[in-house]
Amino acid sequence: MPYNPALVAPMREEMTRMGARELTTVPDVDAALGDQKGTMLVFVNSVCGCAAGNARPALRLALEHGVKPQQVVTVFAGQDLDATARARQYFADYQPSSPSMALIRDGEVVHFVHRHQIEGRSPQVIAADLTSAFDRHFGAAV
Amino acid sequence: MSHVFHPGHEALHGVTVVLDTVSGETYLGRYDSADERGVHLFDVGKHDEGAGGSREEFLRRSARFGIRVEQKHVVLPKASVARITPLGELTL
């Protein structure tokens, strides 16, 4: 059962403040991820305080890097159930976890950050891994 | 740091761990707590030697593609637990 919307509103706002676009319905997801071109990061948001509480600031830090995805979109696991399930179909090779992040280039998942790669790590460390992945997969030379 | 199990230690709550048993089984899941019933893991996958692939391959595949959840909740008696290590701390 989804949490009280008022409880998760700050977690949604934290994402939109950093420029992420929320995908709350299946048509939203299909419009963003179907026939996707360019570079994109999909952030699977979560109410989990210990993991998502570090993942969101980590992404904000990473987005200050010179090389970054052209688009950042987000679905909210446990809240927008259908949209999240649909988004996960676009990275079906990867088992669901939340929070998690998929880096996509021209419709192909080029890097995936699982929950276990977030847990117990500081935002700075997670951001360093992310920016390294941005350089590797989204850099101009790629 | 590798974490060796200590009864009542809850620092691992919410962390994805590798739990090895004294009988040689390996479970992967999200640590919740430990109580008189044992260690509680959620969203659990288990290494199945018979299904092919070594324990290391199971862990490597799970680290890359995520845990294939087979059981929502597993409780393992404390006496059966040999070692608990956060998956994120393993070099695979």
CATH of the domain at A23: 3.40.30.10
Give the list of residues 6+ apart from residue A138 with CB closer than 8 angstroms, or none: A39, A67, A68, A69, A103, A105
Compute the 3-state secondary structure of chain B and give helix, strand, coil in percent, each to the nearest 5.
20, 40, 40
Kindly state the DSSP code that residue A18 receives in the 8-state scheme: T
| Lowest mean pLDDT segment, chosen from A15-19, A46-50, A106-110 | A46-50
Are residues B30 and B42 in contact, defined by beta-carbon separation less than 8 angstroms?
A: yes
- Say how many domains are in chain A: 1
Indicate yes or no: CB of A120 within 8 angstroms of CB of B67.
no
Say how many CA atoms lie within 13 Å of B1 toward its Cβ.
7
The torsion defined by the Cα of B11, B15, B18 and B19, in degrees rounded to 10, comes to: 50
Residue A84 CA, distance from chain mean position: 11
pLDDT in the model for residue A50: 67
Residue of A72 and B52 predicted with greater confidence: A72
* Element containing residue B73 per DSSP (H, E): strand B71-76
The ipTM, to two decimals, is 0.81
Instruction: Determine the distance in angstroms separating the CA of A76 from the nearest CA of chain B, rounded to an integer.
Output: 18
Residue numbers in B near A100 (CB within 8 A): 66
Please name the helix (run of DSSP H) or strand (run of DSSP E) that holds residue A125, with its range, or none: helix A123-138
Q: Tell if the CB–CB gap between A119 and B14 is shorter than 8 Å.
A: yes
- Non-local (6+) Cβ contacts of B48 within 8 A are none
Q: Which pLDDT score, from 0 to 100, does residue B16 have?
A: 94
Q: Chain A within 8 Å of B67 (Cβ-Cβ)?
A: yes
Whether pTM exceeds 0.80: yes
Q: Which domain holds residue A44?
A: 5-138
Identify the band that residue A4 occupies on the pLDDT scale cut at 50, 70 and 90. confident
Q: pLDDT at position B3, please?
A: 34
Position B80, amino acid: S
Structure confidence at residue A64 as a pLDDT band (50, 70, 90):
very high
Q: Which of B65, B68, B91, B92 to mutate to test the interface with A (most CBs of A within 10 A)?
A: B65
Of B16, B66, B68, the CB nearest to A119: B16
pLDDT in tens, chain B (92 residues): 333 333 444 788 889 999 999 999 999 999 999 999 999 999 999 997 777 689 999 999 999 999 999 999 999 999 999 999 999 888 87
Average pLDDT, chain A: 93
> Min CA distance, A114 vs chain B (Å)?
7
CB A50 within 8 A of CB A78: no
Residues 6+ apart with CB under 8 A from A83: A23, A24, A25, A26, A28, A29, A75, A76
Q: What is the average per-residue pLDDT within A35-63?
A: 91
Q: For residues A140 and A17, which has the higher predicted lDDT (pLDDT)?
A: A17
Quickly count: other Cβ atoms within 10 Å of residue A71's Cβ: 17
Assigned token pair, A125? 């460390």
To the nearest whole Å, the CA of A53 is away from the closest chain B CA by 12
Question: Annotated catalytic, A50?
Answer: yes
The confidence score (pLDDT) of residue B48 equals 78
Domains delineated in chain B:
16-89 (2.30.30.100)
pLDDT score for A103: 98
